[in-house]
Amino acid sequence: MVICNPFGQEYIRAHRSLRELAKRLAETGFHVLRFDYFGCGDSGGDGDEATLDQWLRDISAAIAEVQETSSSPKFALVGLRLGATLSALLAAQRGDVERLVLWDPILDGAAYLKELRVAHEGWLRDHAQGRRGAAEGEPLREALGFSISPALASCVEQLRLVPDDWPSAKALVIDHRSFPGAQVWVHEDGVNRILVPHAVLESITSWLGSACS
């Protein structure tokens, strides 16, 4: 299993939940790898050097690593938010992804950037004493504490995903609306108190357990 992180503030807030997911999957008997994309988390590079192409290559490097560790060519990708979208893109490119878990994937990159812009502007207005974000029409270069390079923004802008394209035997799509309170990547408790979406993690673990047996 390779777990693909969300981006930026969502990554920070979801860290604990994804660690817990990895632990549960490992307890079920899977080899699991969590990692940070280039320019994110503990990995090398600055945020403003990041590109989607690099992140797709990073996921492939993680796949190679888990294949070597497990001595098995079979692998699954589990992605949250932008990580889910990247997982789906890579799965379509490679064709050898055994199973796919798309947890609240970003379906429309342009809408996602717009959401980030609004959230960033709102945060500054409420917490940063008059500092303004990017003006209307100006490119978004940072959101909620994280840098967005022009290359990253233009690739995210183009992202479109139709999760129904994936056969249900091969992919599990998790929609937080079926799990009230499970939006850990935006929930304030994801940053101040330890919040773990047990029902979501249970769904993922049991589906992968039966789909990969």
Q: Can you give the binding site for other proteins, defined by CB under 8 A?
A: 9, 12, 15-16, 19, 40-42, 44, 47, 120, 123-124, 127-131, 141-142, 144-147, 179-184, 187-189, 191-200
Taking the complex as a whole, the smallest distance from the CB of residue 130 to other proteins amounts, in Å, to 6
Taking the complex as a whole, the smallest distance from the CB of residue 42 to other proteins amounts, in Å, to 6
User: Are the CB atoms for 92 and 70 separated by under 8 Å?
Assistant: no
User: Tokens 């949250």, residue?
Assistant: 80
- Nearer to other proteins by Cβ, of 125 and 170: the residue is 125
Taking the complex as a whole, the smallest distance from the CB of residue 26 to other proteins amounts, in Å, to 13
Report residue 142: phi and psi, to 5°. -155, 150
User: Are the CB atoms for 101 and 204 separated by under 8 Å?
Assistant: yes
User: Would you say how long the chain is, in residues?
Assistant: 213
- Nearer to other proteins by Cβ, of 15 and 24: the residue is 15
Taking the complex as a whole, the smallest distance from the CB of residue 81 to other proteins amounts, in Å, to 16
- Nearer to other proteins by Cβ, of 166 and 179: the residue is 179
Please tell me the distance from the alpha carbon of residue 32 to that of residue 149, in angstroms, as a whole number.
30
CB atoms within 10 A of CB 92: 13
